[in-house]
């Protein structure tokens, strides 16, 4: 509508006021303004479609944070692995890291399959618990003391004395 009246204002000198109603003249301007707007929109969309599509680059920050978290978790798991009993550590190493099934691990260690399963379940629980505990201690906010220091003013803020040479 704004374009219609702007165009009518621009063409006001060409209008014949004695010819009757201005409605057909305004409707003609409105029709042409709508056509021009639609044509401009089509041209704009066609021009945008001709532009080469850029590949969207993923944000590497999320991947980096994930890698840092994985590295910290792996280091905590390795440290926790050393605290397991030897029998649990052997079963865990054979089944998880070496990729053996229960039967293969049982044959390698010379123990029953049920023992392999129970030791592996126990080792996984312990590793999860120790790893989570290590990560929670590492990621905890530092605790600052609050309140007053016991002992009065003299012990809280001792004056410094310069030594004579």
Q: Pick from 57-66, 103-112, 145-154 the range whose average pLDDT is largest.
A: 103-112
Residue 27 main-chain phi, psi, to 5 deg: -65, -35
151 pLDDT band, cuts 50/70/90, is: low
Report the CATH architecture of 62-138: Orthogonal Bundle (1.10)
- Distance between CA 62 and CA 135 in Å, rounded? 19
Q: What's the chain's average pLDDT?
A: 82
Q: Count CA atoms closer than 13 A to 111's CA, side-chain side.
A: 15
Q: Which residue has the tokens 């057909």?
A: 24
| Contact status, residue 100 vs residue 108, Cβ threshold 8 Å | yes
Domain range summary for the chain, segments of one domain joined by +: 2-11+21-50, 62-138
Question: Of residues 84 and 60, which shows the higher confidence score?
Answer: 84
- Distance between CA 16 and CA 6 in Å, rounded? 18
Q: 15-18: list long-range contacts, CB under 8 Å, 24+ apart.
A: none
Position 143 scores a pLDDT of 55
pLDDT digits (tens, 9 = 90+) for 113-147: 999 999 999 998 988 888 888 888 766 655 555 55
Position 47 scores a pLDDT of 93
Q: Give the distance from CA 68 to its chain's centroid.
A: 13
Position 130 scores a pLDDT of 86
């Amino acid at each position: 509508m704004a374009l219609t009246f702007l165009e009518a204002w621009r063409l006001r000198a060409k209008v014949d006021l004695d010819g009757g109603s201005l409605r057909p003249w305004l409707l003609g301007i409105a029709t042409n303004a709508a056509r021009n707007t639609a044509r401009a929109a089509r041209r704009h969309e066609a021009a945008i479609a001709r532009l080469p599509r850029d590949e969207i680059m993923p944000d590497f920050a999320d991947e980096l944070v994930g890698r840092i978290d994985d590295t910290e978790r792996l280091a905590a798991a390795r440290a926790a692995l050393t605290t397991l009993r030897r029998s649990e550590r052997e079963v865990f190493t054979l089944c998880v890291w070496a990729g053996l099934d229960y039967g293969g691990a049982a044959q390698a260690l010379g123990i029953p399959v049920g023992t392999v399963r129970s030791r592996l379940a126990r080792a996984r629980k312990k590793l999860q618990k120790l790893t989570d505990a290590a990560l929670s201690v590492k990621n905890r906010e530092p605790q600052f003391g609050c309140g007053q220091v016991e002992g009065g003013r003299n012990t809280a803020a001792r004056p410094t004395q310069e030594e004579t040479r």
